[in-house]
Amino acid sequence: MPTFAAVLQQPDFPVSDFLTELSRRRTFAIVAHPDAGKTTLTEKLLLFGGAIQTAGAVKSNKIKKSTVSDFMEIERQRGISVSTSVMGFEYRDLQINILDTPGHEDFSEDTYRTLTAVDSAIVAVDVAKGVETQTEKLTKVCRMRDTPIIFFVNKLDREGLDGFDLLDEIEQKLNVRVRPLSWPIGMGQRFKGVYNLYEKKLVLFNPHGKQEDEDLIVFEDLSHPDLEKHLGESAARTLREEVEVVETVYPEFKKEDYRSGKICPVFFGSAVNNFGVKEMLDCFVEIAPTPLPRDTEERRVLPEEPKMTGFVFKIFANMDPKHRDRIAFLRICSGKFERNKNYRHIRLEREFKFPNPTMFMASRKTLLEEAYPGDVVGLYDSGNFKIGDTLTEGEILHFKGIPSFSPEQFRYVENADPLKQKQFAKGLDQLMDEGVAQMFTRQSDGRRIIGTVGQLQFEVIQHRLESEYGAKCRYEPVNLHKACWVTSDDPKALQEFLDRRKRDIAKDKDDNMVFLAETAWTLQTVQENFPKVNFRFTSEV
Ligand code: G4P
């Protein structure tokens, strides 16, 4: 594996430009339970970065519950999602890439995959609601990969949980260690601002305006009597006491601990009031990691390696029904990506070059000549890519860690129009490549079962099969609790299990063996009876 030093010694490699570009990249996602303020926070960050000029420019890509069956809405959301896939801006000479994630929890698998393409994450939490189900799931996915996390506790302009209680809840429910880097002064009607513990600044809340520089007061020492002047006696006393507790209870903040995923800094604010956001951004640009190394099945790939490598983590198909093309989103992991250069598609064992690589940036679409590690490139594709595919300059590598999660809802899917069998099969195949849902083929009878994380996907599949492929599908109920991938170090034990449970065995789209458990009890029983078989609830593609 080439080391940093070896890269520097490559004779014709424009090392300095490349390394400068690499070190300028910060690629992250903002994730949250719906309604916690992800869209608002994203918008404020883009405003600071000058990527947008007005509030309201970032469309929420949320599909509200009331519009579950409104397919025009789903199409509109797909349009928004493709154009906001990456929202990039320059801030303090850094290139910041925010990768967008879907707003509806039924699409959370898409979010999980996007999290494999980032180097850090910001998790927004509503101060009144605390840790919600999606916060738990999404943080768990970040923790599986030790992705550095910053928490942004939002909506301090409303009444909510006490700061310490909220931090306890985050630590307990999410199994993380936190370290507040700002501290709220009151909340709701009594919200006066935050004390920025990182920069030792008092930031006063001005509910009706932009945060101005005069709202910032530097306080190296909180015992200074001027604190009362700004906050009043009672709030000043509480702040002193609470900050003292913070400094004693929570560990000292160390950048390395954050970067290794050991500690999560926490900021407090109110995104809609543009308050506390700049504090977080200014800290983020100082501490957030540059593009991180990525593991492949063969070896670890370092971003500074001169040869281009990347993987596809997201696919959008049939955005324009007249042209059956798709856009595959490639995260660059090492080297410089160049337009019209030949790259090896490892799964297909073929060379490809891309005349029109595109950067989708907050509703702007630009043709790009080159891209660097941390960047995301949109590649026009006529059906050659699947999620998880790797591109390199020739070396055989397979990037690890794009997870598929065990679905939670299942239905048999059948072709409802015998004259359109071909279109039905192709449509299903392509939608699965895109990662809309998972499909399992039961080995005993060849029936296809669609597994999803939410109800909405079944409707999306039906609608898209019809409108994009001219095919019709019908669902039938199937009584299933979980699908889990089965493996074993002992081939005999695995075979015995597969023979004994023939009726419950299926294959996923990559021919991996899957056990279909009808109930939690069945699952528990087989786990006990077949101790040499591993039952996994995630699979990496
Ligand atoms: P999401 O993407 O995480 O789903 O959340 P989003 O930003 O859409 O915010 C959800 C709702 O919370 C929005 O209100 C938004 O205005 C509000 N919100 C965001 N940040 C704050 C905050 O700091 N304080 C308060 N009080 N509210 C906040 P909405 O009524 O759903 O939409 P809208 O009509 O305001 O756009």
Q: How many angstroms separate the CA atoms of 525 and 520, rounded?
A: 9
Among 249, 270, 287, give the residue marking a domain's end.
287
Q: 365-369: long-range contacts (C-beta < 8 A, 24 or more apart)? A: 365/83, 367/339, 368/339, 369/338, 369/339
Residues 160 and 246 in one domain: yes
Inside any domain, residue 94: yes
Q: Which domain holds residue 308?
A: 294-392
103 close to ligand 1 (CB < 6 Angstrom): yes
Question: Measuring CA to CA, which residue among 379, 177, 152, 190 is closest to residue 274?
Answer: 152
Q: Which strand (E) or helix (H) includes residue 376?
A: strand 376-381
43-54 residue pLDDT tens = 888 888 777 666
Ligand 1 neighbourhood includes 118 CB (under 6 angstroms): no
152 and 182 housed in the same domain? yes
pLDDT, tens digit only, all 541 positions of the chain: 444 445 444 555 555 789 999 999 999 999 999 889 998 898 888 888 777 666 665 666 555 444 444 556 666 666 666 666 788 888 999 999 999 887 667 677 788 889 999 999 999 999 999 999 989 988 988 988 899 999 999 999 999 999 999 999 999 999 999 999 999 999 998 899 999 998 888 888 876 656 565 567 777 778 888 888 888 888 989 999 999 999 999 999 999 999 999 999 999 999 998 889 988 999 999 999 999 999 999 999 999 999 999 999 988 877 666 666 788 999 999 999 999 999 999 999 999 999 999 887 655 678 889 999 999 999 998 889 988 999 999 999 999 876 777 788 999 999 999 999 999 999 999 888 888 889 999 999 999 999 988 788 898 899 889 988 999 999 999 999 999 999 999 999 999 999 999 999 999 988 999 999 999 999 999 999 999 999 988 766 4
Tell me which of 234, 269, 287 is where a domain ends.
287
- Tell the residue nearest (CA) to atom 22 of ligand 1: 155
Strands 120-126 and 149-154: parallel
C-alpha dihedral (23, 24, 27, 28), degrees to nearest 10: 100
**Strand (E) or helix (H) holding 180:** strand 178-180
Measured CA to CA, the distance from residue 203 to residue 394 in angstroms comes to 53
403: helix, coil or strand?
strand
Give the total number of structural domains in the chain: 3
> Would the CB of 464 count as within 6 Å of ligand 1?
no
Residue of 54, 65, 272 to test ligand 1 pocket, by largest number of atoms within 8 Å of CB: 272
Residues 189, 255: Cα–Cα separation, whole Å: 34
CA 533 to chain centre: 31
Tell how strand 94-99 and strand 25-32 pair up: parallel
| Nearest to 156, CA basis, from 182, 118, 119 | 182
Is 5 within the bounds of a domain?
no
What's the CATH code of the domain at 429? 3.30.70.3280
Does 271 sit in the ligand 1 pocket, CB within 6 Å?
yes
Q: What pLDDT does 61 receive?
A: 57
Same domain, 221 and 301: no
Is the CB–ligand 1 distance for residue 32 below 6 Å? yes
Establish if 9 belongs to a structural domain.
Answer: no
Note the pLDDT of residue 258.
Answer: 96
Atom of ligand 1 nearest to the CA of 154: 23
pLDDT of residue 65: 44
Q: What is the CA(281)–ligand 1 centre distance, in A?
A: 19
In terms of domains, do 386 and 485 share one? no
